[in-house]
Amino acid sequence: MYGAHGPDLGEVLSLWAIVPFAGMLLSIALFPLFAPKFWHSHFGKISVFWSLVVAVPFLVLYRGSALYEFLHIVLADYVPFIIILVALYAVSGNILLRGTLVGTPRVNTCILVIGTLLASWMGTTGASMLLIRPFLRANSQRKNRTFMVVFFIFLVANVGGSLTPLGDPPLFLGFLRGVPFFWTFNLVVQMIVVVVVLLVIYFIMDSYFYRKEKDGLPAYKEEKEPLSIEGKHNFIFLVCIVGAVLMSGMLKLGEVSIFGVHREIEGVIRDGLLLLIAFLSMMTTRKEIRDDNEFTWFPMQEVAILFIGIFLTMMPCLKILQAGEKGALSVLVKTVEEPYHYFWVTGILSSFLDNAPTYLTFLSGLLGKFYSGAGGHEAVMNLISDKEIYLKAISAGAVFFGAFTYIGNAPNFMVRSIAEETGTEMPSFFGYMIKYSIPVLVPVFGIITFLFYL
């Protein structure tokens, strides 16, 4: 047995143990790029494959300890993670923005501002799904729409989600590990800097292209429809989601054992409430609203299937990192030292891997480095009181850099898919980076480093 009565599992695992995790993340990075059709048809099997590659040998070698760790990561991390995504996705999918918007630079900038503000409260996925179609409709007559969608991904699908654990999955995983709900407000100044710089760049670009295109733009054929929001009562459900998550962070009701895994009762109640909210939202909203929103559960199913693979394969990696300098990744733990190291390394890895597991990996790394062997929530509170800048660095890195590539954050691919479906040409994986991420985001993140982490 490992853990309570023997050496920690993370201390005895070798680097080989993280091969399935690397395989899983590389599959997510490379298959959509080089074999998208194959990936589209078989991503579930690939997720199962990597899960088995890690689960079978672990269960054979470490039996009870391995089973406990797998159950723990599924019940304590994966299930709440999927439930919050489902709740936010369902509720935001039941809100429909109708009306005619004309895509001028001012209107577009306003949409981006609204989306950025909403993202922290309805999730980057929810805000993106709510606004991307109206945004594209507003600009249907414009010729150069690509840069608009890219900035939408930057702001609404990523940076906007940095203020609360509801905003972006990595921050919710941090919340589950003990980061207080309102702690993420500490990122507000960094967020404002990034948002303002990006909006200024956007406005200049949009104004330039608008002036260039203005004379050639065809007149709007459709009759002007006044702006309106349908399914407004779902905003109440959004408030309920915030309330349920807040409640779970504030109450301490003890623990309950589920399959031998101790879970806080308030967390279980929160998950139940979130499912109930999602159900009530679906039941109380007319189906036509979802139809007109082109709502489908399919992207959420994909995320659920892929992330079970990610979470299972991630377990050994997290354990090794939690072991700090006693673990097989001690070199990494020793090398990454300064806050700006954490900002950039978390960020760059978040760009090419999904940002949620990357955040969790680096959070575990930090806890292993500074508080090796200490309990989860207690270590997190110590980290906040003694070394807060490190937590800020990995939080900002994970959220901001999620915009760096299409695979950095789940809503990126949903926005891209909808844009391409409606006839907006989007750059390739590398085109996105070369034309937009590197010239725009790298200097902005340079400013953030200079202002906050040096």
Partner 1 sequence: MSIEKILFPTKFRELAFDALDSLTVLKEAGLKEIVFLHVILREDVGFVPFGGYLKKEEEKMRAEARIRLEDWQKTLDEKGIKSKIIIKVGRPVHEMIHAAEDEKVDMIVVGRKKRIDIENTFIGSYTHKVITRIRLMTFVSKYMVEYKFDNAELTKVNDRPFETPLITVGGDEELSQRAVDSLKKFKGAVKKAIVFFNIDEKMMDEKNKAEMEQLKEECKQKCGKYCEQLGAAGIEAELHLGAGEILDEILRVSRERKASMIVAGNTSEHRFLENLLHRSISYQVTKSSELPVLLVP
**Rounded least distance, CB 446 to partner 1, Å:** 27
CB of 173 to partner 1, least distance (A): 18
Based on the shown chain and the rule CB under 8 A, indicate whether residue 225 belongs to the binding site for partner 1.
Answer: no
Q: Which stretch binds partner 1 (CB under 8 A): 36-44, 112-120, 396-404, 438-446?
A: 36-44
Among 14, 284, 296, 335, binds partner 1 (CB under 8 A): 296
Residue 414 sits in the site that holds partner 1 (CB under 8 A):
yes
* Residue placing its CB nearer to partner 1 in the complex, 33 or 114: 33
Q: Answer yes or no whether residue 420 interacts with partner 1 by CB under 8 A.
A: yes
To the nearest whole angstrom, how small is the minimum distance from the Cβ of residue 380 to partner 1?
Answer: 29
- SS3 for the chain is CCCCCCCCHHHHCCHHHHHHHHHHHHHHHHHHHHCHHHHHHHHHHHHHHHHHHHHHHHHHHHHHHHHHHHHHHHHHHHHHHHHHHHHHHHHHHCCEEECCCCCCHHHHHHHHHHHHHHHHHHHHHHHHHHHHHHHHHHCCCCCCCHHHHHHHHHHCCCHHHHCCCCCCHHHHHHHHCCCCHHHHHHHHHHHHHHHHHHHHHHHHHHHHHHHHHHCCCCCCCCCCCCCEEECCCHHHHHHHHHHHHHHHHHCCCCEEEECCEEEEHHHHHHHHHHHHHHHHHHHHCCHHHHHHCCCCCHHHHHHHHHHHHHHHHHHHHHHHHHCHHHCCCHHHHHHCCCHHHHHHHHHHHHHHCCHHHHHHHHHHHHHHHHHCCCCHHHHHHHHHHHCHHHHHHHHHHHHHHHHCCCCCCHHHHHHHHHHHHCCCCCCCHHHHHHHHHHHHHHHHHHHHHHHHHC
> What residues from 92 to 121 belong to the interface with partner 1 (CB under 8 A)?
none
Binding of residue 335 to partner 1 (CB under 8 A): no
Minimum CB–partner distance for residue 207 and partner 1 (Å): 28
Identify which of residues 392 and 416 has a Cβ nearer to partner 1 in the complex.
Answer: 416
CB within 8 Å of 273: residues ≥ 6 apart:
240, 244, 247
Q: At closest approach, how far in Å is the CB of 226 from partner 1? A: 21
151 binds partner 1 (CB under 8 A): no
Is residue 426 a contact point for partner 1 (CB under 8 A)?
yes
* By the rule CB under 8 A, 312 interacts with partner 1: no
230 touches partner 1 (CB under 8 A): no
Min dist CB 392 to partner 1, Å, is 27
Q: How far is CA 51 from CA 46, 70, 285, 307, 311, in A?
A: 9, 10, 37, 10, 9
Considering only residues 337 to 356 of the shown chain, the ones binding partner 1 according to CB under 8 A are: 354
The one segment of 31-39, 210-218, 222-230, 366-374 that binds partner 1 by CB under 8 A: 31-39
Residue 180 in contact with partner 1, rule: CB under 8 A: no
Contact call for residue 406 and partner 1 (CB under 8 A): yes
Residue 33 interacts with partner 1 (CB under 8 A): yes or no: yes
> What is the distance between the alpha carbons of residues 132 and 114, in angstroms, rounded to a whole number?
12
Q: Which of 40, 63, 224, 286 binds partner 1 (CB under 8 A)?
A: 40
Among the candidate windows 3-11, 244-252, 332-340, 403-411, which touches partner 1 by CB under 8 A? 403-411
As measured in angstroms, the least distance from the Cβ of 265 to partner 1 is 34
Q: Is 421 in the site for partner 1 (CB under 8 A)?
A: yes
**Which listed residue (252, 287, 334, 377) binds partner 1 by CB under 8 A?**
287
Please, which residue, 28 or 360, has the CB nearer to partner 1? 28
Contacting residues toward partner 1, per CB under 8 A: 28-29, 31-33, 36-37, 39-40, 43, 287, 291, 294, 296, 298-299, 302-303, 306, 354, 406-407, 410, 412-414, 416-421, 426
